[in-house]
Amino acid sequence: MLELISPIGYPRIQAQADRRRLDTPVGGRIGFIWNQYPATQHFWPHLERAVEDLCKPSAVRRAYKINTWIPLEKTQFDSLAAAVDYFVIGVGA
Amino acid sequence: MTGEPMARRAEIHQVESIEQFIDLVYEQGWTDGLPVFPPTRKVVDGMFAYLGRNPGEVLGTVFPGDGEATVENVVANCAMAGCLPEYVPVVIAALQCISDPALLITTTQSTGSASICTIVTGPVVGDLKFHTREWIFGPNGGRANACIGRAIRLILWNVGRAHPGKLIKGTMGHPASWSYCIGEEQEATPWEPMHVDFGLGPADSAVTVMKAGEHSQIAVPFNTVGLNECVTLLARGIGRLGITTSGGKRGFVFVINPTLAQAFAQAGYSRAKLRAAIAERAFKYSYDWQNDSKQGKAVPFADRDKKAPSERGILVAPITPDEIVVVVGGGVAPQMGQCVAISSRSSAGKPMLTRKIQFPDR
């Protein structure tokens, strides 16, 4: 008979509990940052409309990047960040 | 009571034969596909005795499943990988890098299929008999290379639950991920261990864990082209790898064979001088690479490609010496230099992290 020790690690409950839960974005100010990645060009407008219908934001700001790989200009990002409570960000492929 | 919660202890399984063990491993999903050794009580207890640490001690949390790595489950994975007890401190040091939020291994779970590459440096390389010469990246018969690399992969699999299609979404995978671990050459290197660049002492032993993306071989025939051109060949290697870390920190590892390292050393290059030379030359050749915000205005790919390379301007941030790491290893080939260049995938966090290996007090 072979006695075997399991190699499995179980999720660390404390680590999960420490994750901050977001407050509701309903009624808040929402910003959209989108990289205009070709594969998302049909999807993204639907997502924006759905978020706006769902959250009824008090204000909306949009920033559409012209290149997938490049972060938004810091000054532009700082300006947006000061004007919204939440961002919806489209990244990657 | 305050402080860390008690770690959940490992489940115990019993089988009557090796054949049953093989079935169990695949039924339970304990392996990434390759066969493994049984993590028996005897083997695991031998590792506990060597380490002198509490099996329930928590070592860190492994992304993406937030699995709690304990001495017990780390040792079980080491046993399955075929490790000797003396290998476990190396694996633990690598694990501490992997679970460090400063490294942030999230990019290894993304579509780009980055891997975890571990580089072991210092006296431990000789002590554990790493294979550091021909076919350093394997397969080469070196037990330390293969088993330590396998243990790290199995920990990512069993503790981090890095299962493709579930918690990791890499589109292609990475063939080196089965076991991606090397030891730096000790005897034929003209320089101090690589980790001295990261502030550790030459007598220390260390691991450097890198979020590795592209892996490319570069022939560096210094007997025919001269060392100056060799620096260019190495620098152009960065262009071949591509720069996929825009928005994050970049990192490039150049593993050069001892012959080439000795040739550079004889010509007066220290490791730092070689890193600086590669960086300087890389800047010269950087116009043809991807955009980076640090150079200012973004140029859409479509517009960029309409221009001749000489008209595109420099579109990437200059490579700096601190983004380049030079490691010595591989076969000794008379008059022939060879290099493996590895680029990081690090859109967030550091591209690599180095940690001193702590061995049990004896």
Chain B interface includes A7 (CB < 8 A): yes
Put simply, the answer to whether B292 touches A70 (Cβ < 8 Å) is yes
Interface predicted TM-score (ipTM) of this complex, two decimals = 0.85
Put simply, the answer to whether B66 touches A16 (Cβ < 8 Å) is yes
Residues from chain A that touch B300, judged by Cβ atoms under 8 A, are 66-67
3-state secondary structure of B206: strand
Q: Pick A2's closest partner by Cβ from B21, B73, B77.
A: B21
Position B316 scores a pLDDT of 54
Chain B interface includes A89 (CB < 8 A): no
Chain B interface includes A53 (CB < 8 A): no
Best mutation target, A1, A3, A5, to test chain B (most B CBs within 10 A) = A5
Put simply, the answer to whether A2 touches B5 (Cβ < 8 Å) is no
Nearest CA in chain A to B243: A69
Question: Whole-angstrom Cα distance, residue B234 to residue B128?
Answer: 30
Position A22 scores a pLDDT of 76
Distance from CA of B71 to the nearest CA of A (A): 10
Residues from chain B that touch A15, judged by Cβ atoms under 8 A, are 61, 66, 68
Distance from CA of A56 to the nearest CA of B (A): 32
Chain B interface includes A67 (CB < 8 A): yes
Residues from chain B that touch A90, judged by Cβ atoms under 8 A, are none
Best mutation target, A1, A10, A13, to test chain B (most B CBs within 10 A) = A10
CB neighbour list of residue B4: distance below 8 Å, 6 or more residues apart: A14, B58
Residues from chain A that touch B158, judged by Cβ atoms under 8 A, are 7-9
- Residues A27 and B59 sit within 8 Å (Cβ to Cβ): no
- Which of B315, B64, B103, B347 shows the shortest CA–CA distance to A89? B347
Bridge partners of residue A30, in order along the sequence: A60, A86
In what helix (H) or strand (E) does residue A16 lie, and over which residues does it extend?
A: helix A13-17
User: How confident is the prediction along chain B (362 residues), in pLDDT tens digits per residue?
Assistant: 344 555 678 999 999 999 999 999 999 999 999 999 999 999 999 999 999 999 999 999 999 888 999 999 999 999 999 999 999 999 999 999 999 999 988 877 778 888 999 999 999 999 999 999 999 999 999 999 999 999 999 999 999 999 998 888 889 999 999 999 999 999 999 999 999 999 999 999 999 999 998 899 999 999 888 899 999 899 888 766 665 544 557 889 999 999 999 999 999 999 999 999 998 888 665 544 444 444 434 444 445 455 554 455 444 566 789 999 999 999 998 878 999 999 888 777 889 999 999 999 86
Distance from CA of A25 to the nearest CA of B (A): 26
Q: Which residues of chain A have pLDDT under 50?
A: 93
Position B156 scores a pLDDT of 97
Distance from CA of A44 to the nearest CA of B (A): 19
Residues from chain B that touch A92, judged by Cβ atoms under 8 A, are 110-111
Chain A / chain B CB contacts < 8 angstroms = 122
Cα B74 to Cα A71, B90, B99, B208, B225: the distances in Å are 38, 11, 13, 18, 48
Chain B interface includes A78 (CB < 8 A): no
Round to the nearest angstrom and report the end-to-end CA distance of chain A: 50
Token output for B249: 């920190």
Question: Whole-angstrom Cα distance, residue B161 to residue B63?
Answer: 8
Nearest CA in chain A to B156: A9
Nearest CA in chain B to A5: B12
DSSP classification of residue B176 = G
Put simply, the answer to whether B77 touches A7 (Cβ < 8 Å) is yes
Put simply, the answer to whether A3 touches B111 (Cβ < 8 Å) is no
Question: Whole-angstrom Cα distance, residue B162 to residue B282?
Answer: 35
Put simply, the answer to whether B61 touches A65 (Cβ < 8 Å) is no
- Which of B256, B181, B159, B254 shows the shortest CA–CA distance to B214? B254
Put simply, the answer to whether A93 touches B111 (Cβ < 8 Å) is yes
Put simply, the answer to whether B40 touches A4 (Cβ < 8 Å) is yes
- Residues B329 and B229 sit within 8 Å (Cβ to Cβ): no
Nearest CA in chain A to B292: A70
CB neighbour list of residue B305: distance below 8 Å, 6 or more residues apart: none
Cα A63 to Cα A36, A37, A78, B40: the distances in Å are 10, 13, 12, 57
CB neighbour list of residue B57: distance below 8 Å, 6 or more residues apart: B7, B70, B71
